[in-house]
Amino acid sequence: MHGQEATTPLPEAMASAVFIEMHDAMGQWVAQAVFLDWYRRPVPAVGDTVCFDAEQGPREGRKVIGRVETRQFEIQRDELGETSSWVRLELLEIPSPLPRTVPRRSTPENTRFTAN
């Protein structure tokens, strides 16, 4: 696709739930989270920046930011035959852009930053 921007078809970019796993630059696992209510929202593409609250791992309970390195889609069926689309995102941690001396409340709570 020389000279054209690559895009993901909408059905492929949507998911029911998202599992995020983040590693640092040394390849060590630092955080993960699961979002079970991802319906009708696009899934971040490879290269996108994602900010989330770590649910497990060494950064548990902290807001972390990372760049999507890979994403894998999987269709699952429950016991009633209903289908759901899961996506697994693997992220590379990006060090926080704010120095530790700046209080968190100095940034509005709903503000999100992205490198895109």
In tens, the pLDDT along 48-68 reads 999 999 999 999 889 999 999
The pTM of this model reads 0.66
Antiparallel, parallel or unpaired: β 49-53 and 17-23? unpaired
Establish if 51 belongs to a structural domain: yes
Residue 63 resides in a domain: yes
Does 91 reside within a domain? yes
Q: Tokens for 12? A: 């492929």
The number of folded domains in the chain is 1
CB of 50 closer than 8 Å to CB of 41: no
Burial letters for 66-98: b for 16+ Cβ neighbours within 10 Å, e otherwise?
bbbeebeeeeeeeeeeeeebbbebbbebbeeee
User: Residue 36's domain spans which residues?
Assistant: 10-106
Residues of the chain with pLDDT under 50: 1-5, 101-102, 106-107
Query: 61 in a domain, yes or no?
Result: yes
pLDDT at 13: 54
Nearest C-alpha neighbor of 56 from the set 31, 36, 35, 34: 31
